[in-house]
Chain A
Amino acid sequence: MIGPSFEAVLAAAAGGDELAFGTLWRDLQPGLLRYLNALAPGAGEDLASETWLRVVGRLDRFSGDERAFRAWVFTVARHRAVDRWRRTTRRHDELVPTDALVHLPAPDDPASSAMDAISSRAAVALIATLPPDQAEVVLLRVVAGLEVAEVAAITGKRPGHVRVLAHRALRRLATRLGEPARVRGAV
């Protein structure tokens, strides 16, 4: 989050200031890549470029605070991903890379106790194994840092449904993260 200086940064970026745009880009690009890589694995870079191109084209028309700006950028990114998904006419769950799960350490791994042992990439890959609606809700809440109402507006769901999806996703993740240890403990 940029903070109180967001309005000035946004105005400068809308005026063509590259430094201000770089600030916006550095703040949003990592989350954008993680979100888009989960929605469309292997196409996150392209979709992020398309998203920024669209955002830059309409930057001077945007009005709102930083949260609204983040919600708008992720809305544009989601539209880009949906368009790409429609073009490729693939099923969403076929786009999830399962090989990325290899890098996720087991919960009983001694290295797993260290927080930095789990890379953000592996964590996003594990979240992406959830059902698509649950994975999207969790990514928008965690990676994009959006609230329930904003996620509901982006995904076109009711806030109550977003909460239910988040609860189910957390429970499923907890179950999934406990399964390997259970198996190893049985062995």
Chain B
Amino acid sequence: MDAGNVFPAEMPDDHPQPMAQPIVPLDDDTAERLLAGHLHPEDAPPGYAEVARLLQAAAGPPSPEELAGLEAALAGFRAARGGLGQGRALRHGRDRPPPRRGRGRPPPRRGRVSAPFRRGGGRPPSRPGAPARLVALALAGTLVAGAMWTGGGVWIADGALTALGLRSPSGGPGSGGPGFGAPGSGDGPGVAGGAGRAGGSGSLRPVTTAVTGGRAPGPPSASERAAAHHGRGATSRGGGSAHGARLGAHGKPPKAKPPKAGKAEAGKARQGEPKMGGPKRGGAKTPRTKAGGNRTRAG
């Protein structure tokens, strides 16, 4: 049959038009196979053959230009790994706790297991002015030690401790307590000799043998404590360095009084002369000093 003898509508359609293929909705399984690339275009539902071809092309093997950056990637990998090591080192250095100051503790050693546990917590907050107080305390301690050695500078050490608001263990001009080995007492032989010798020089030159009289410094006797209180006023009026000079000028030892009388007088002097006894102590208003006063009055 010739094609010219028939109507076009009767012509067989050897070439189906794409628009003749309806796009059917996909079920889940077909869609999954299509997206996974497991559906061949020939087996695809009508209208999805090209989609299957497109998706397979999108998931196709890599092109050479896509893999061209391998060397650069390896170089970046090397640099990144090197940077990682350096970063770790820096991070460890940054995380290391800062060196502690003051308090006499040794600085933390590197590589200690306990170092990470100190990070963040456990460290008491620093107080303002604490380093200055610590330095002053160390200086006062040095002076106290020197005074115990020399037997003369304890009053100055007491003054330094009093200025810090601390109570010295040796008593002193402002402490209200007894001081042992205090100059100016002139009670014991060695002390009196030391006073006379110091009076000549008027200095705090260490004269150990003379001050201690050949014996090791130890706890004072009751008479020494009473004498120390008795001589407190002169020391306060004359300053700390007049301990032996004043006695040396007078040339006579102070009167020896019985311990009870000395204690009572010391208590009177403490009550009647509140401004004496060296520099003012803030601690005079503190409950501890009041308690000490009560104890004194009670005693």
Chain A residues whose C-beta falls within 8 Å of the C-beta of B18 in the assembled complex:
107-108, 178, 181-182, 185
A26 on the B face (CB < 8 A)? yes
A160 CA to B120 CA, complexed, in Å = 47
Which residues does chain B contribute within 8 Å of A173, judged by CB atoms? 51, 54
Interchain CB contact (< 8 A) of B81 among A56, A119, A170, A177: A56
Chain A 119-133 interface residues, beta-carbon cutoff 8 Å to B: 119-124, 126-127
Closest to B74 in A: A18
| Residues in A whose Cβ lies below 8 Å from that of B50 | 107, 112, 174, 177-178
Q: Check: B237 CB closer than 8 A to any chain A CB.
A: no
A118 touches B57 (CB 8 A): yes
- Chain B contributes a number of interface residues (CB within 8 A of A) equal to 40
Tell me the complex Cα distance, A19–B164, Å: 70
Query: In the complex the two chains form, what is the Cα distance from A72 to B62 in whole Å?
Result: 21
Q: Which residue of B lies closest to A25 (CB)?
A: B73
Q: Which residue of A lies closest to B35 (CB)?
A: A141
Q: How many residues of chain A are within 8 Å of chain B by beta carbon?
A: 49
Cβ–Cβ contact B23 & A178, under 8 A? yes
Q: Mark A84-107, 1 if CB is under 8 A from B, else 0.
A: 000000000000000000000001
Taking A34-B58, A57-B84, A167-B31 as contacts, is the C-beta distance between A52 and B73 under 8 angstroms? yes
> Are A16 and B81 neighbours in the complex by a CB distance under 8 Å?
yes
Contact B58 A127 (CB under 8 A): yes
A25–B70 touching, CB < 8 Å:
yes
Query: Which DSSP category, helix, strand, loop or mixed, fits chain A's interface?
Result: helix
Q: In the complex, are the beta carbons of B54 and A177 less than 8 A apart? A: yes
User: A166 an interface residue at 8 Å Cβ cutoff?
Assistant: yes
Tell me if B25 is interfacial: C-beta within 8 Å of chain A: yes
Q: Is B76 among interface residues, defined by CB-CB distance under 8 A? A: yes
Q: Which of A115, A138, A163, A181 contacts B57 (CB 8 A)?
A: A115
Does any Cβ of B come within 8 Å of A29's Cβ? yes
Do residues B78 and A18 form an inter-chain contact, with CB atoms below 8 A? yes
**CA separation between A107 and B29, bound complex, in Å?**
25
Minimal beta-carbon separation of A127 from chain B (angstroms):
6
B3 sits at the interface (CB 8 A): no
Contacts of A42 in B (CB 8 A): none
Q: Does B55 contact A (CB under 8 A)?
A: yes
Question: Which residues does chain A contribute within 8 Å of B25, judged by CB atoms?
Answer: 167, 171
Cβ proximity bits A34-57 to B, threshold 8 Å, 1 near / 0 not = 100000000001000100110011
Closest 3 CB pairs of A and B: A30-B62, A181-B18, A123-B58
- Chain B residues with CB under 8 Å of chain A are 17-19, 21, 23, 25-26, 28, 31, 34-37, 47-48, 50-51, 53-63, 66-67, 69-70, 73-74, 76-78, 80-81, 84
